């Protein structure tokens, strides 16, 4: 009898242990079907169930609801250039920024390899745009390993009475398509088609800043325009992609924009600057970065502008970066900027010849300048000389 009771007790313990294992397994399965393993955000299926509920709630009670679709710009390029591990780190950084920026009532999910969904209950589409512009700027200031900045495009759509969940999703997708069509790295709210051409805010802002720089100091503005041509050529020879070349072009045009905040007596001083004046002048890359970061979508350009005076050996400013830690665009502009400055007349010195400037570039390769960039710059200059028939000073053209 005692042995029988012991066997029953042992069997009961085994059954209880089995039940615990089943419950734990069910919880694990539920977690995996609700939360995406890499980012910890909701899975697409779990998000869609929540969206169905929120759309129904908005229909019944007339509450506002916004849906956002976020796409990581250039994600395939990140995978190809830096590998899947680096791409995964970008996605994790993206999810952290979203989680830190959203309210407790907001819901975020990873929908596909490079796409995220965000649902904002009790929020109109127009009200959500400012918040996503802030997220855009924060991501642009985020570096992840070899990826210098995270750029995303965002499509937004607000719920309108009678909309089904799939219609709201399609509307947000339309906003995303427009954001990407306009060049990416921006937020677009879906609106019914009015037939009015889409504005291009980046181009307008860039043009306005370029004019402001030219009006502030004609030499600086014209110098920047000349650096653009060289920097674009060198970037192309280095094999940079179209988006990277465009960022370098914009940064080359606006690399001195911070000088708009430098006092006239320093900016226009005919002689050499003293130590205190140089301290003030060296603030212009950081000022330029702040100006550009205030424009959503120009984060990668702002990063280049900040580091345009860093040196390959780490002796530059403002952060003392060295080697490949300096953004490639900044390394390109530094060398092109130096060449154009050397071959231009200034109040305190005469212009060097092309040959003298190239000699200085070679001497400073590996210390001030990236050796590879210097090689490509000299090759580009030689190619221009060939095209114009062997002029001695191509930068003066």
pLDDT tens-place string over residues 123-180: 988 888 888 988 988 888 888 888 888 889 999 999 988 899 999 999 999 999 988 8
Closest to 368 (Cα-Cα) out of 304, 306, 305, 314? 314
What distance in Å separates the CA atoms of residue 371 and residue 122, rounded to the nearest whole number?
55
pLDDT tens-place string over residues 277-328: 999 999 999 999 988 887 777 888 888 999 999 999 999 999 999 999 999 9
**Residue that is last in its domain, among 151, 169, 198:** 198
**Tokens coding 142:** 């985020």
What distance in Å separates the CA atoms of residue 248 and residue 238, rounded to the nearest whole number?
12
Q: 71 with 153: CB under 8 angstroms?
A: yes
State the total domains in the chain.
2
Residues 291 and 313 in one domain: yes
The CATH number of residue 53's host domain is 3.30.70.270
Tell whether 320 is covered by a domain: yes
Q: Which of the four pLDDT bands, split at 50, 70 and 90, describes residue 19?
A: confident
Residues 208 and 347 in one domain: yes
What distance in Å separates the CA atoms of residue 125 and residue 131, rounded to the nearest whole number?
11
pLDDT tens-place string over residues 108-128: 999 988 999 999 999 988 888
Residues 386 and 241 in one domain: yes
List the domain range (segments joined by +) for residue 182: 44-198
- Residue 71 region by backbone torsions, left for phi larger than 0, else alpha for psi between -120 and 50, else beta: beta
What distance in Å separates the CA atoms of residue 104 and residue 44, rounded to the nearest whole number?
19
Closest to 237 (Cα-Cα) out of 119, 140, 118, 335? 335
Where are the strands (E) in 77-194, listed by range? Answer: 107-112, 115-121, 152-158, 187-189
Q: 158 with 120: CB under 8 angstroms?
A: no
pTM score, whole prediction: 0.59
Q: 38 with 91: CB under 8 angstroms?
A: yes
The CATH number of residue 252's host domain is 1.10.3210.10
Name 81's bridge partners: none
Q: Which of the four pLDDT bands, split at 50, 70 and 90, describes residue 397?
A: very low
pLDDT tens-place string over residues 22-59: 655 555 445 455 788 889 999 999 999 999 999 999 98
Tell whether 11 is covered by a domain: no
Which pLDDT value is given to residue 222? 61
Which pLDDT value is given to residue 396? 37
Q: 309 with 285: CB under 8 angstroms?
A: yes
């Amino acid at each position: 009898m005692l042995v029988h009771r012991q066997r029953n007790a042992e069997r009961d313990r085994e059954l209880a242990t089995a039940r615990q294992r089943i419950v734990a397994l069910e919880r694990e399965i539920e977690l995996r079907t609700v939360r995406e393993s890499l980012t910890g955000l909701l899975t697409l299926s779990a998000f869609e169930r929540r969206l169905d509920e929120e759309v129904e709630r908005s229909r019944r009670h007339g509450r506002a609801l916004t849906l956002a679709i976020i796409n990581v710009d250039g994600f395939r390029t990140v995978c190809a250039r830096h590998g899947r591990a680096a791409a995964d780190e970008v996605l994790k950084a993206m999810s952290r920024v979203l989680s830190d920026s959203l309210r407790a009532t907001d819901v975020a999910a990873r929908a596909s390899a490079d796409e995220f969904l965000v649902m904002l209950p009790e929020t109109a589409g127009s009200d959500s745009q400012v918040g996503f512009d802030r997220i855009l700027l924060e991501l642009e200031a985020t570096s992840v390993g070899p990826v210098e900045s995270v750029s995303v495009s965002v499509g937004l759509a607000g719920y309108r009475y009678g909309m089904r969940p799939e219609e709201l999703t399609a509307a947000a997708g339309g906003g995303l398509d427009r954001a990407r069509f306009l060049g990416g790295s921006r937020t677009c709210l879906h609106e019914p088609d009015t037939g009015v051409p889409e504005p291009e805010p980046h181009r307008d802002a860039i043009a306005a800043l370029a004019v402001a720089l030219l009006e502030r100091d004609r030499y600086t503005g014209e110098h920047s325009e000349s650096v653009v041509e060289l920097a674009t050529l060198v970037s192309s020879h280095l094999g940079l992609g179209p988006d990277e070349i465009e960022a370098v072009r914009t940064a080359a045009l606006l690399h001195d924009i911070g000088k708009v905040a430098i006092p006239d007596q320093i900016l226009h001083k005919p002689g050499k600057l003293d130590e205190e004046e140089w301290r003030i002048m060296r603030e212009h890359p950081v000022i330029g970065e702040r100006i550009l970061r205030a424009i959503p979508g120009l984060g990668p350009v702002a990063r280049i502008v900040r580091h345009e005076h860093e040196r390959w050996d780490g002796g530059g400013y403002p952060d003392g970066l060295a080697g490949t830690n300096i953004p490639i665009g900044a390394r390109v502009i530094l060398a092109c900027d130096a060449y154009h400055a050397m071959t231009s007349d200034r109040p305190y010195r005469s212009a060097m010849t092309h040959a003298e400037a190239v000699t200085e570039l070679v001497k400073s390769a590996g210390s001030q300048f990236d050796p590879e960039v210097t090689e490509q710059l000299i090759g580009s200059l030689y190619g221009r000389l060939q095209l114009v028939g062997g002029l001695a000073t191509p930068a003066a053209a």
